[in-house]
C-alpha cells in the first residue's frame, strides 16, 4: 500500500494535528518545523521568529483512502488563510499559513484550489497562504507530539483546537475514524 506525505502550516501545530489525526486514511501526523534557515531548530529557536521556520504538521496518508485535495479542503477549513503571520492570538511568522508541496501534482492541486478561491470569492479577504516546493521538515520535541490527545482539557486546547476538531467533524463526518 502506497503512502503519501502532505505538509501544512496553519498556526499552532497543537491545533492542526488533532484535526487531521481524526480522518480516515491518515496514518500519522507529526508536529514539527519547516521553511527556515537553520537545521534541527528547537521550539525555543522557532518561537523567536528569527529562524524562518513555521510550526507545521507532516501528514502520512493513504491516497487510496483520502485524496490530497480533501486534505487541502480540511486545511483551509481548519484555519484562517487570510491572516498574515497569525492565527488567533498566535502571532509571528512561525504561525503563517503555508503549504509545502511534495510534488508537482500537489502543487497543481493547490494552485487550482487557490484559483477557485479567488474566482469564487470564497473568503472575504485575499488568501495569504504561501506555496513552497519541498523543504526539510524537522519533527518537534516529543512533548509536542499528539499534544491534544494528552491535554484535551488544557484551556488553550479547549478554546482553539476543540472547535476546529468539531468543525471538521461536522463537515466531514463520513471521513472521521471510528472511535
Burial class from Cβ neighbours inside 10 Å (0-12, 13-18, 19+) for residue 57 reads buried
Q: Per residue in 19-75, pLDDT tens?
A: 999 999 999 999 999 999 999 999 999 999 999 999 999 999 999 999 999 999 999
Q: Where are the alpha helices (DSSP H) in the chain?
A: 13-21, 43-47, 68-78, 104-120, 147-150, 155-156, 162-171
Which residues form the domain of 76?
A: 4-175
Choose, from 12, 15, 101, 157, the residue flagged as catalytic: 12
Each residue's pLDDT tens digit, 75-96: 999 999 999 999 999 999 999 9
Instruction: Look at the chain and report how many structural domains it folds into.
Output: 1
The domain that contains 43 carries what CATH number?
3.30.1060.10
Query: Can 101 be counted among the known catalytic residues?
Result: no
Written as nine digits, the cell of 159 is 478554546
Amino acid at each position: 500500500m502506497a503512502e503519501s506525505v502532505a505538509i501544512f502550516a496553519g498556526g499552532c501545530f497543537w491545533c492542526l494535528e488533532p484535526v487531521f489525526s481524526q480522518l480516515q486514511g491518515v496514518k500519522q501526523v507529526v508536529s514539527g518545523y519547516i521553511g527556515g534557515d537553520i537545521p534541527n531548530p528547537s521550539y525555543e529557536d522557532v518561537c523567536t521568529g528569527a529562524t524562518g521556520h513555521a510550526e507545521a504538521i507532516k501528514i502520512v496518508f493513504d491516497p487510496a483512502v483520502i485524496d490530497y485535495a480533501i486534505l487541502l479542503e480540511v486545511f483551509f477549513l481548519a484555519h484562517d488563510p487570510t491572516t498574515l503571520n497569525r492565527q488567533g492570538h498566535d502571532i509571528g511568522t512561525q504561525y503563517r499559513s503555508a503549504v509545502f508541496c511534495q510534488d508537482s501534482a500537489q502543487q497543481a492541486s493547490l494552485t487550482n484550489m487557490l484559483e477557485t478561491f479567488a474566482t469564487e470569492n470564497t473568503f472575504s479577504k485575499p488568501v495569504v497562504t504561501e506555496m513552497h516546493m519541498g523543504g526539510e521538515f524537522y519533527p518537534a520535541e516529543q512533548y509536542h507530539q499528539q499534544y491534544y490527545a494528552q491535554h484535551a482539557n488544557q484551556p488553550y486546547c479547549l478554546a482553539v483546537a476543540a472547535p476546529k476538531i468539531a468543525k471538521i467533524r461536522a463537515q466531514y463526518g463520513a471521513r472521521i475514524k471510528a472511535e
